[in-house]
Structure formats: C-alpha cells, structure tokens
Amino acid sequence: MRRFTGISVLCVLAWTVSARGTATTQPDSEAKVDQHAVAAAVAAGLVRVEYTLQFDKGEVPPSRWGNDGATVIRDERPMEYPGFLLSATQVLTVDTVLHPRFVKKTEVRFGQQVVGAKPMAYSRWQYGTILQLDAPLKDARPLSFDPNAAGPYAVVTYGLGNAQWGISVENFPSSLVVTEKQEEYSGAPWYCLVTDGGGKPVGMTMNGRFAGDSWKGSPLDWPVISAGEMAEGLARLERKTDEGILRVSLNFRSPNKAAKFSFRDYNPEGRGGGETERNVLGVLVSPNRILVLADLKSNMTSRLEQIQVYPPDGKPVSAKFAGTLTDYGAFLADLERPLPGPIEFSQEDISNQRCRLLMNANIRVLGEKRFGYYSHARFYVLELGWKRRVFPDHSSRTSFAFTEGGQLLLLPLQRRDKIEAEETPRARAEDDMVPVAYIKPVLDDPVANFDSSNVPVTEAQENRLAWMGVELQPLDRDLARSNKVSDQTKDGKTGAIVSYVYPDSPAARVGIEPGFILLRLHVADQPVPLEVKLDESPFAGGQFPWDKLDEVPEQYLSQIPAPWPPAESNFTRALTELGFGKKYQAEFYHDGQIILKDFEVVESPPHFDAAPRYKSKELGVTVRDLTYEVRRFYQRSPQDPGVIVSKVEPGSKAAVSKIMPYEIITHVNDQPVADVKDFEKLIAGQSELRLEVKRMSRGRVVKVKLAPTTQSTLGAKSQSASAPAKSTVTE
C-alpha cells in the first residue's frame, strides 16, 4: 500500500474533498495529455525548499502542513516543501507561515545543487511565498508561462511520497463546484502547476481552486507584498498593539475556606482555587473600556478585587469590573481614565478571507512582562462551529490576526462552558480563533450579553452555594446493576442515589424521596445534558477515626478533613455555575420509570464553609454555627444547642485541654449555646470555663482556666495557661 507523507498528503486530501463536492463531472472520453512528456518538460523547473528549524527560547517550532517542527529538528533534517522556479533567482513555494525566529536557514535544492534563499514577496490571496535565491541553480530551468496556450491541460504536483520526491501528472480537473453563494470553481490540489498537453506552463494555483481563467499566467504577476513592505507593516502593527493590547493584572481576595479538600481547591487549569494574582491580556475596545481575556469561573470572579491595566509607559490605570461575557471567556472593565489607541475591529466576512495574507501579533504575558512576536498569517480551511458560525480550522491557529490595514480580524478566545460535569478536568482545547465580527455585537449591547451569576461578590457572599436539598451517594457498577440503571449511567460511572431529602427543600417540594436515582440535568440553553458524577468524600467507604483523634499531633489538627460530606461538591458547584434563578429539569429513575422534575437554582441555607464563626484568641479555638449538613451528620435537631469547633490553635488552652476539631460545644458554664454569638457572650469576662463537649455520641466536661484580664494579675498568665484542664467523660 502506497503511503504519502508531508505535503503530498494534503494534496491528495484536497483533491478528494474537491471531488466529493463536485456538481458535474465530464466524461473520461475527453482528450488526454501525454503525462510522460509533461513530467519531462517541467522537471527542470521543480525544486525543493528546505527550512532548517531551531528552537527559540525553549519553544518548539509549530507544526506546519504535515511537518512536525520538533520531529524534524530531532531527526536532524530540514522541513521540506515543493518549489517552482519562476526565474533564474526566484522560486515560488508554499507559505510556511513560520515566524523567522524558528528558521535557522532557508535553502533551495535542485539535484545536488543547494543555494541559500530568503523571502522576497508574499502573495496577497494565494498561499504562497516567493523566495530570492542567493545564486542561480546552474542546471535548473525556470518555468516560462503562456496563459494563451490551448488545452487539453495537465495538473502537475510535486511532493514527497514513500520517502521519495516525485512528480504527479493528472488531467486538468473536470469537476465543478457551485457554492450556495453562486461561486463557481473547479476543484484542484492545494498547490499545483497547470500545463498544456506538451508540458508548457499555463498557470498555477496555491489555493486549491481554478476560478474562470484567473489562474492563468505567471505567479510573478500575482498581487504581492514585498518583504520590505511586510517589515514596515509589522512595525506599524507592533506600535498599534503596544497601545491597544495591554497587560492586565488581576488581584483576588484570598479564598474564604475552612473545609478541607474542597472542590474549589482543585485547580488543574489555573481558573480557580487559591490563586490571588494573575496577569492576562486585554484588548482596548474604546478609550474607556477594555476586553480582558480571562476565562474566570464564577468562584474565581467572586474574589476579584482589583484590576490594573498597564499602558506602554508602565504607569498602571485602575479599572472597574463591568461584566462577564456569557458566551466567551472574557470580561469587560471600565478604565478610570481614558487611554489612547483602541483597537479597530474589522467587519469583513471571514468566509472571504481564505488564503488571504494577514498580519499576526503573537502577544502573551509571562509573569509580569508582556512579550510580542510579529509575523504574517493565513488560514486555508474554514469550518462550521458554534451556532453554524464560520471559523478558521485549528491547524491555522494564530494569535491576534489583523488585516493589512491594521484592523483586528481574529482574536484568541475560548467559548465559555456554562457548567462542567466532573471535578476531573476535561481536555480543554486551546483558544479558538474567533472572528471579531461575532464579538462586536456583544460589545455593542454588553448588558444583554453579561452573565449575572459571574460577578465579584463580598467575602460574606463568596461561599454561596446552590442546592437541590438532597444528599447523594455515588453510583458504582454493582449499585447500577442492582438498581437496573446500567444503561442510563454508563455502568455506574455516572448517576447518584438520593440517600436523604431535607425537609421543606426544593427536592422535598416536588416529591423526591430516598432511593430515587438522579441521572442528569437538562438546562434550556444547554445543548448537552449535565451528567451527574459525584466527587468522592475524603472518608467515602470508611469511618472518621474518632478513636484516634486524640493521637493527632497539634500541628496537624488543621489538616483533618471534615467527617461529613461537604456541601460543596462538583454537583452543587455545577448548579451554582448555572446561576441563581435558572430553570432546569432533573431526570430521575424510580420504580422502572424515568421521572422529570422542574427545578429552579436556589441558594442553600448557610453551610459549614459559609457559617458564621467566632475566634476566641484567649481560648485558641474557632467555632461555627451548626448548619444543615452538620446537624444531619450528627443527627441533631434545629432545637438542639451547640456550636462546632472548626479550628484549634496549636499550643493554645483549647489544644492543651484536648478540645478537637469537629467536636460540638453544647454548654458553657451550664448554659446552652445557641450559636456563635451566644458562645462569645457566654465566655466573655470569665476566668474559668466549664465546657460540655460532645464527640459524636460521647460527651465530656472540660474545665479551662482563663487568664485574668486586669493588669495586676497578668503575671498569672503563664501558670494558668500551663495548668492541665480537668475533663470528665460521660456517655
């Protein structure tokens, strides 16, 4: 079986795609060309262009058209493309669209002859570059074009197959493609030379199409930009983007977290967790407004406190958050003072830009420094994407792509995921190249395109969570099979069993009962249902080691995870990401039937992470109110008194007294404790505390002496602090 590699693969693919899209096909009875004669006639004008690549600043040259940059470097061979000799010192070749920093040298080979070369000009509408040779190739013969030569015609390609370079000759394409825009053209290999029956060159294409007679004639007559003009254009682009694409620093409040192994701590993609500072890029869309290219999840945006924009002079300008774009990973911010040089958006139809020469600004932020590399760009293939919009294919990825006139045509953005089904990170695609024609309507009416649930909030609001009002147990293979939902849950990989329904909760109000199996959620504007897959609790399948708690060294007490399932899971986080007030349907399985129930995303009652808390510095303990999930775990009613210990300071009186995290203090000096405010009031001004403490079903009394508060008794502090506490244990 013949195996094609490199550029020849693309030729075959392009030809195949064209053939599949043909509207009519001419009969094979047409006159044929003498293929041997054609190959012999053009052979002296076909050369090989060799690019010796290099790493730059540790970066790998990108792959281009079947050639992997890192592979050819490691293989100690050049990246090779076909070339067509147009004059003694000019060669037309495929545009690699590589930044010069990755090209160590460029050479052109004919047989055993090799000469150096450099870019001379770039075609405006064909995917080609003209190289200037350092010296003529002695044995090669330039192709001489005659646009008036009569048919029949032959199509010639030159490429690498089975590790050998070869000439391919076919009859002139007889296919016809008529698009919905009534464009007509004949399909062709991506790049090819056309000759008459005797091998006389007639014309070329480097965009995979023959439209009318426009392909006839020498490529030296194509509209081009010279290398000098390109350098000037890129210098203008650098000046423009220095003013209009800026570094933006984002500062976040430290997360208000007390729970261990919280879902929000999981930070595989840098979009959440404990991050407090980030540097990103922003596009100045008007003198007073900047589009910040940061895909922040709502739990990250909630902590956003400061936005600083850095113009070329380096003096930061503060900005105020305006709103997160609903559909794209970016947000708008308003500057406190105007800046010059906003970027102008192009309104050109991306469908008409195929193969067009573009200017590319590869700008990024590393640490606190902004870097930019400037070159040209093109894209060859268009594909349908979100909402049938047209995008360049991913193989043509650039950074910020501009027209020759300096208008922004494409910018790197991710389409925002409204919800994510699992804690385990999915493989995220790189930024899409989004035509700015799709972004401008969003910027013209931003309020209608803002996500009201993805905004900065106060610290008190930070840990808000949505809930359904159920406790869920993850499915596994055995549970799925015993409950006959293997086909609905990927054999137990998704889905969860309702183990408890909180009274007067959303689930209770629609009739959900323990034993129901929650399969997935359906959201009106989400095309893909959210499959329910729970993250495991730290003590799933086991018991909290209460009997070993006293053996834990003081310095590790703060690292003990809570014994109850946390209120925040990937499921409740997904609900929260939907946004409070959002309507959705939950799909359950019960008694052999699928049941759909209507819900609205509502805020949960206060949970442990968000519970009111009080820290007693003298006692060295932090307590929190008993919340719904904590009371459920300890089987305590709303009327039962108590506050729960959430933190014990090493070396404190509480630590010496062996008060442990997750114990409940029910009484202070024989007075019941209703909440943290009550606890604070009851211990105030006391020199000795009699604390009734419960560890699950076991209770004990702990007596703690506190230091006197007057100046005359300060000397007694060390003695009272070291005095052992008396403890009486009761069942």
Q: Where residue 707 falls among pLDDT bands split at 50, 70, 90?
A: confident
Q: Is pLDDT above 80 for 714?
A: no
The model's pLDDT over 563-586, given as tens digits with 9 standing for 90+, comes to: 888 888 889 988 988 888 899 999
Q: Would the pLDDT of 23 be above 50?
A: no
Half-sphere exposure of 47 (CA within 13 A, CB side): 35
pLDDT for 84 beyond 80:
yes
Report domain 611-730's class.
Answer: mainly beta
Q: What is the mean pLDDT of residues 646-655?
A: 92
Q: Which residues contact 395 (CB under 8 A, 6 or more apart)?
A: 380, 381
Q: Give the domain ranges of the chain.
A: 7-222, 226-458, 466-534+569-603, 611-730
pLDDT, position 9: 36
pLDDT, averaged across the chain:
86
At residue 65, the pLDDT reads: 67
CB 601 within 8 A of CB 467: no
pLDDT, tens digit, for every residue of 128-145? 999 999 999 999 999 999
Q: Is the pTM of this model over 0.85?
A: no
Pinpoint the alpha helices (H) of 445-562.
477-482, 506-509
Residue 20 has pLDDT above 60, yes or no: no
Residue 546 to residues 258, 359, 560, 630, 662, Cα–Cα distance (Å) = 20, 65, 11, 16, 10
State yes or no: pLDDT of 64 exceeds 90.
Answer: no
Model confidence over 391-449: pLDDT tens digits? 888 665 678 999 999 999 999 998 887 655 443 344 344 568 899 999 999 999 988 99
Average pLDDT on 146-175 reads 90
pLDDT tens string 302-349: 999 999 999 998 899 999 999 999 999 999 999 999 999 999 999 899
What local confidence, expressed as pLDDT, does residue 424 receive? Answer: 38
Burial track 131-166 (b if 16+ CB lie within 10 A, e otherwise): bebeeebeebebbebeeebeeebbbbbbbbbeeeee
* pLDDT for the residue 335: 98
**For the domain bounded by 226-458, which CATH number is listed?**
2.40.10.120
Task: State residue 76's pLDDT score.
Answer: 94
Residue 97 identity (one-letter amino acid)? V
Q: Do domains 7-222 and 226-458 have the same CATH topology?
A: yes
pLDDT digits (tens, 9 = 90+) for 479-530: 999 999 999 999 999 999 999 999 999 999 999 999 999 999 999 878 889 8
Q: What is the mean pLDDT of residues 28-43?
A: 81
Q: Quick one: pLDDT at residue 275?
A: 84
- 495, 517 Cβ separation under 8 angstroms: yes
3-state class (DSSP) for residue 461: coil
Q: Report pLDDT for 6.
A: 40
Give the end-to-end CA distance of the chain in Å, rounded to a whole number.
81
Which tens digits make up the pLDDT trace of 577-618?
888 889 999 999 999 999 999 999 999 999 998 899 999 999
Average of pLDDT values for 450-454? 89
CA–CA dist 269, 417 (Å, integer): 13
pLDDT of residue 540: 54
Q: What is the mean pLDDT of residues 618-639?
A: 94
Are 506 and 468 spatial neighbours (Cβ–Cβ below 8 Å)? yes
Q: Which fold has domain 7-222?
A: Thrombin, subunit H (2.40.10)
Confidence at residue 598, expressed as pLDDT on a 0 to 100 scale:
97
Is 466-534+569-603 in CATH node 2.30.42.10? yes
The pLDDT tens digits for 199-234 are 999 999 999 888 888 899 999 999 999 999 999 999
Cα–Cα distances (Å) from 459 to 106, 165, 323, 612, in that order, read: 58, 66, 19, 12
